[in-house]
Amino acid sequence: MRILQLTNSDASHTTGVAEGERSYRIAQRMLAEASGEDVETVLRVIWPSPDLPDIVDRWMDRYAPDVVVFHINGYWYLYQSVPLKLERKLGRWGRPLSSAGFGMGRNRIAETTLFQRIRTLLVRTIGGDYYFTPKEVISTVDACVRRILAHEGTTLMVRGNLLGWSEGAQGAEAEVHRAVSRLAAELHFTFLARDPREPVAGQDLYQSGDRLHASGAVHLLFGEREGQALVEAWNHAHGVSGVSAVFTSR
């Protein structure tokens, strides 16, 4: 059995988490044990650009997966980027500053307490921009999901946020959650996500490193929830009774 994980940088980011302890490996083992089949996972990092549906379609043809896990990354529409705001506001004049900011965010400097304090101060003073709006994310997810399900026999799980972001992000998170929940009910795929009406929780698990990528504890939490949902989705697709096609985790 082959799983195509359409995922984020957590899959390859060096965080001190052993390969076998990453969330997708945990979920893969759970599905292998439940199905009694050998399972392999293909990882592809995605970004919700306009051409993503076409890219996903090509990957479906290339890898012919039995199972697809599509991650809706909260970073796309819930993370305030100061460099992005500078680039959009100042145009070419802001590009040197934004390039420097993006560069620091991608290296070890981003893991220091000083960097995190400066970033917090900048967000509070000059603010940051979001990469995409909730509506843009919803539109891209809708198009990708329909491309995936056009390949008959594919089991699909869409994974949203499993831990909360900031209190101020709950409106946007709820908008995406509602839209994808409706889509899951319409097209009969599994949607795994926290209920955004619940209080924001889990931020204490992101107090090390760059505050964006998962620690070992987060990989374990995500892997077990994802594995459970995959097993339920797989059982439902293969006629095991008593399993809902739409599964929402709190």
Three-state SS sequence of 39-89:
CEEEEEECCCCCCHHHHHHHHHHHHCCCEEEEECCCHHHHCCEHHHHHHHH
Distance CA 11, CA 15 (A): 10
What confidence category does residue 92 fall into, taking pLDDT thresholds of 50, 70 and 90? low
Q: Which of 21-25, 196-200, 241-245 has the highest average model confidence (pLDDT)? A: 21-25
Residue 115 has pLDDT above 60, yes or no: no
Helical (H) or strand (E) element with 6: strand 2-7
The residue among 250, 196, 247 whose CA lies nearest residue 69 is 247
- The DSSP line for 146-211 is HHHHTSTT-EEEEE--SS---GGGHHHHHHHHHHHHHHHHHHT-EEE---TTSPP--GGGGSSTTS
Predicted confidence at residue 8, as pLDDT, reads 85
What confidence category does residue 65 fall into, taking pLDDT thresholds of 50, 70 and 90? very high
Among 2-11, 33-42, 177-186, 206-215, which stretch is predicted with the lowest mean pLDDT? 206-215
Rounded mean pLDDT of the chain? Answer: 79
CA 225 to chain centre: 14
Q: How far is CA 188 from CA 24, 67, 76, 233, 235, in A?
A: 23, 14, 25, 10, 14
Distance CA 67, CA 45 (A): 16
In this structure, which amino acid lies at residue 248? T
Among 36-50, 117-131, 230-244, which stretch is predicted with the lowest mean pLDDT? 117-131
What are the pLDDT digits (tens) for 167-206?
Answer: 556 789 999 999 999 999 999 999 999 888 876 665 554 4
Residue 69 has pLDDT above 70, yes or no: yes
Helical (H) or strand (E) element with 33: helix 23-35
Report, as an integer, the average pLDDT of 132-139: 96
Residue 246 has pLDDT above 60, yes or no: no
Residue predicted with more confidence, 242 or 39: 39
Residue 241 has pLDDT above 70, yes or no: no
Predicted confidence at residue 147, as pLDDT, reads 98
Q: With contact defined as beta carbons under 8 Å apart, do 64 and 27 qualify? A: no
**Crossing angle of helices 113-125/82-90, nearest 10°?**
40
Percentage, residues of the chain above pLDDT 90: 48
Predicted confidence at residue 248, as pLDDT, reads 41
| φ, ψ (nearest 5 deg) of residue 35 | -90, -20
Q: With contact defined as beta carbons under 8 Å apart, do 43 and 98 qualify? A: no
Residue 155 has pLDDT above 90, yes or no: yes
